[in-house]
Chain A
Amino acid sequence: EPEVTQTPSHQVTQMGQEVILRCVPISNHLYFYWYRQILGQKVEFLVSFYNNEISEKSEIFDDQFSVERPDGSNFTLKIRSTKLEDSAMYFCARATLYNEQFFGPGTRLTVL
């Protein structure tokens, strides 16, 4: 089953700048998720999105983060003012049921 695509594959930004990471599901799905993995650490849940609304967010997902589906297709994660500790791989995932989530290839964010 096809997964999602994510753009860009690598984003380099200066501290304090805004970044937008994009996720494009191949087909219609109900549930969308963002996870991140800091280098050498485990994959961590950030936020879930269901029916065009945030359904749950972790403590990592503070006011600097936001998600939306601006055109009903793309699913974006915005970080308003990046910090050095935001450097990580960011993964988008989708699911149709409560079972398996399928992950995109990720965006590597490097904050300088």
Chain B
Amino acid sequence: DQQVKQNSPSLSVQEGRISILNCDYTNSMFDYFLWYKKYPAEGPTFLISISSIKDKNEDGRFTVFLNKSAKHLSLHIVPSQPGDSAVYFCAATAGTGTYKYIFGTGTRLKVLA
């Protein structure tokens, strides 16, 4: 039961260009979405989040877009830097209960210098 999907397992981008990571979800009860970055042998690090009442949230080089009708969100990184190379997970949660996160399978981003 994959409620959150990241269909691209990997992505390579040239330094300075835009990285776009995509995520789709199926559960219409999700109302809060997050992106996490993960390096090997480390815990996920929070990057940016968005509530379902918004369609865009920006924080420095990171922007998350939410298209509720399409049940799709994306993370834009501009400009991409070599230090951004990591695995990126999107996560979703519903605004009730314990707010557990449902994670996608991750996209490995490689930024080429």
Q: Chain A: residues with CB nearer than 8 A to chain B?
A: 3, 31, 33, 35, 41-45, 48, 50, 55-56, 58, 91, 93, 95, 98-106, 108
Are B101 and A99 touching (Cβ within 8 A)?
Answer: no
* Pairs across A and B, CB under 8 Å, 12 listed: A31-B99, A33-B101, A35-B101, A42-B89, A42-B105, A55-B98, A91-B44, A98-B93, A102-B46, A103-B36, A103-B44, A103-B45
Within the assembled complex, what's the spacing in Å between the Cα atoms of A12 and B17? 42
B81, CB-defined interface residue at 8 Å: no
Residues of A within 8 A of B42 (CB): 105-106
Are A91 and B43 touching (Cβ within 8 A)?
Answer: yes
Q: Knowing A55-B97, A108-B41 are in contact, say whether A42-B106 is a contact too (CB < 8 A).
A: yes
Q: Chain B: residues with CB nearer than 8 A to chain A?
A: 32, 34, 36, 41-46, 49, 89, 91, 93, 95, 97-106
Residues of A within 8 A of B104 (CB): 42
Residues of B within 8 A of A106 (CB): 41-43
Distance (whole angstroms) from the CB of A61 to the closest CB of chain B: 11
Within the assembled complex, what's the spacing in Å between the Cα atoms of A48 and B34? 18
Distance (whole angstroms) from the CB of B82 to the closest CB of chain A: 22
Q: Knowing A42-B89, A43-B103, A45-B102 are in contact, say whether A98-B45 is a contact too (CB < 8 A).
A: no
